[in-house]
Amino acid sequence: MRGAGHQGAIGMELATRRHASRTAVRSGRSTVLDAEGRRALLARSDLFAGLPAPVLDELAGRSNGRCLDSGELVFRKNDAADFAALVVEGVVYAILYGPDGRELIVDMAGSGQAIGEAALLGASCHHFTAVAAGMATVLLLRRVHLAGLLTEPQFLHRVMLLLAGRVSRTARALETMCLYSLESRLARYLLDASDRNGRERDAAQIQLPPTQGILASMLNASRPKLNALLQEWQRAGLISRERNVLRVHDFEQLRRKACAPERRF
């Protein structure tokens, strides 16, 4: 686990939500899960489910469990990729930083999902920064301890599928952020969130990120413009909001906005 160091506005915004200083984020609490608990978590993960019991036992013995505070770093971009992380509980964001300080959230990993898994295939460094969104628990899996598994076709196939999925999601996110108007970007985000939850009905309920700044970073937008658009949609009756819960009232109109011609903000 790398030190927290500089994690940008998103990490600090998340850390502020738990009323802590930057020093507190750096020191973040750490808890080692017992081997039985680690084995159970590995057994129900996307990456390791169904592997032989002896393999899971060995991985459980070699992996390290960590409990992360909100805003704490898992790793930074360009850190040596000698480990991947399996999210046990909570969410971890994958973030890119521009030279002007702008932050883009290009992917995320939730319970049972891996992040930084390119390390398992020999990547020399991590290609994004991973930050805990709220309290989270992860298992750290060192590449050196997985060398034997990398000769198993079943495991390699799973890693390749996970990486292909991440590349596909990242490409879609970058296409949306670079080629569509803010209105279309927000509509596409809400439709994707509704699809993930299987909730596209007359009025779907969607849990938004913890802060509007985080949602803005997911959409490559400024907070004021995003807030103005959300208020405009509320006045039009397209959506309603209560804190971080948003309800969509007209999916047909939302789909039209998602496919609207490009109009840059």
pTM for the structure as a whole: 0.75
Domain-located, residue 265: no
Clarify whether residues 136 and 162 are in a common domain: yes
Clarify whether residues 19 and 148 are in a common domain: yes
How many independent structural domains does the chain possess?
2
User: Which of 177, 212, 233 marks a domain boundary?
Assistant: 177
Q: What angle separates helix 182-197 from helix 153-179, to the nearest 10 degrees?
A: 150
Convert the pLDDT of each residue in 61-77 to its tens digit. Answer: 888 888 999 999 999 99
- Please provide residue 154's backbone torsions phi and psi, each rounded to the nearest 5 degrees: -60, -45
Convert the pLDDT of each residue in 133-176 to its tens digit. Answer: 989 999 999 988 888 887 888 888 888 888 888 888 888 888 88
**Cα distance between the two ends of the chain:** 39
What's the pLDDT band for 101 if we cut at 50, 70, 90? confident
Clarify whether residues 66 and 82 are in a common domain: yes
- What domain range includes position 213? 181-258
- The sheet carrying 239-242 orders its strands as 204-207, 245-248, 239-242
